[in-house]
């Protein structure tokens, strides 16, 4: 295939403890370390491996968000992507709007394969890949843990509740990646320097003539209630008494 398109999202780094804003309008991101969504980083690693095996000529990464997303795109370029596209928008966009914007990029680039993480760790929606597949009328394979590229098709092993499921889908196709697909490579300093010279196209989301007005309003964001401390019991009899006191069992 000629091109692989990888969609990445800028999220709060998974090692950071999330803090809620005092007005409960969202989470604090100012001064917080941001990274590529871990599932998307796995998708990018898989795309690079496909290219390195000789099954693709170019890896393109695309992200939607504020100008700060250039940092994560440069990280993706340092990993080995050939060029980057930033669709600039300063507000939160719902998955369907994201899919519509990505569909425009798919129409422009005409990639043979589209890879993205199964979900983002900030909202856990798990919707964009499926919506994009519908808009593109492409076959899809979600929750993929292994990918094999054939001449005109893909063999995908995906994780389901019952175990593993093997699919064969025709190209072009959309695949969303699970955590066990691979381990992303470590970015070295020389690669970071080279990434500064790789091309990055910056577009305005408003130029795509797609309504980006949200259809869902966030009323408040609150932390979960604190967990109660555990208690030590000496036997089954005390366990029954404790469960009865909490109203979890009847006589």
| Cβ-contact 201, 85 below 8 angstroms | yes
Per DSSP (E only), the strands in the chain are 3-7, 10-12, 34-36, 58-65, 83-88, 113-117, 140-149, 153-160, 163-170, 173-177, 200-204
Lowest mean pLDDT among 147-156, 161-170, 222-231: 222-231
Instruction: Inform me whether the pLDDT recorded for 235 exceeds 70.
Output: yes
- Contact by Cβ (8 Å): 113, 171: yes
Identify the structural domains of the chain with CATH numbers, from first to last: 3-224 (3.40.50.620)
pLDDT score of 112: 95
- How far, in Å, CA of 185 to CA of 51, rounded? 14
Nearest 5°: the CA angle 86, 206, 61 is: 15
CB 14 within 8 A of CB 109: no
Reduce the secondary structure of 202-235 to three states and give it as a string.
EEEHHHHCCCCCCCCCCCCCCCCCCCCCCCCCCC
Who has greater pLDDT, 130 or 242? 130
- What is the per-residue pLDDT for 223? 85
Lowest mean pLDDT among 17-31, 163-177, 181-195: 17-31
Alpha-carbon dihedral sign for residues 136, 142, 147, 153: negative
- List helix spans (H) across 80-219: 95-109, 128-136, 189-195
- Within 13 Å of residue 173, how many CA atoms lie on the same side as its CB? 22
Residue 104: predicted pLDDT: 95
Q: Write phi, then psi, for 43 (nearest 5 degrees).
A: -60, -40
What pTM did the predictor assign?
Answer: 0.86
Residue 160: the pLDDT is 87
* Position 156 pLDDT exceeds 80: yes
Name the band, by pLDDT with cuts 50, 70 and 90, for residue 165.
very high
- Distance in angstroms (rounded) separating the CA atoms of residues 116 and 101: 14
User: By percentage, how much of the chain surpasses pLDDT 70?
Assistant: 100
β-partners of residue 60 are 5, 83
Band of pLDDT at residue 251, cut at 50, 70 and 90: low
User: What are 106's two structure tokens?
Assistant: 């798919």
Calculate mean pLDDT across residues 233-248. Answer: 85
Strand order in the sheet with 200-204: 163-170, 153-160, 140-149, 173-177, 113-117, 3-7, 58-65, 83-88, 200-204
What's the pLDDT tens digit per position in 14-72? 998 888 999 988 888 888 899 999 999 999 999 999 999 999 999 999 999 999 999 99
State the average pLDDT for the chain: 92
Does residue 153 have a pLDDT over 90?
Answer: yes
> How big is the CA angle at 85 (ends 124 and 2), to the nearest 5 degrees?
100
Location of structure tokens 């969202």: 26
């Amino acid at each position: 295939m000629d091109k692989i398109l990888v969609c990445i999202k800028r999220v709060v780094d998974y090692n950071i403890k999330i803090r809620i804003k005092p007005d409960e309008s969202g989470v604090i991101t100012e001064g917080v370390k941001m990274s590529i969504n871990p599932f998307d980083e796995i998708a990018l690693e898989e795309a690079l491996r496909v290219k390195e095996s000789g099954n693709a000529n170019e890896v393109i990464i695309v992200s939607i968000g504020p100008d700060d997303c250039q940092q994560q795109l440069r990280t993706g370029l340092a990993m080995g992507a050939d060029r980057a596209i930033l669709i600039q928008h300063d507000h939160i966009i719902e998955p369907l709007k994201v899919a519509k914007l990505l569909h425009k990029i798919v129409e422009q680039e005409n990639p043979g394969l589209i890879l993205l993480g199964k979900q983002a760790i900030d909202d856990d929606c798990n919707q964009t890949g499926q919506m994009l597949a519908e808009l593109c009328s492409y076959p899809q394979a979600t929750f993929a843990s292994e990918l094999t590229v054939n001449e005109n098709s893909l063999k995908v092993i995906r994780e389901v509740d019952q175990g593993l499921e093997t699919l064969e889908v025709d190209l072009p196709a959309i695949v969303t990646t699970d955590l066990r697909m691979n381990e992303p490579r470590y970015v070295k300093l020389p690669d970071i320097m080279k990434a500064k010279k790789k091309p990055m196209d910056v577009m305005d989301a408003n130029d795509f003539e797609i309504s980006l007005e949200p259809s869902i309003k966030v009323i408040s964001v609150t932390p979960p209630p604190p967990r109660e401390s555990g208690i030590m019991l000496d036997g089954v009899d005390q366990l029954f008494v404790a469960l009865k006191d909490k109203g979890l069992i009847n006589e």
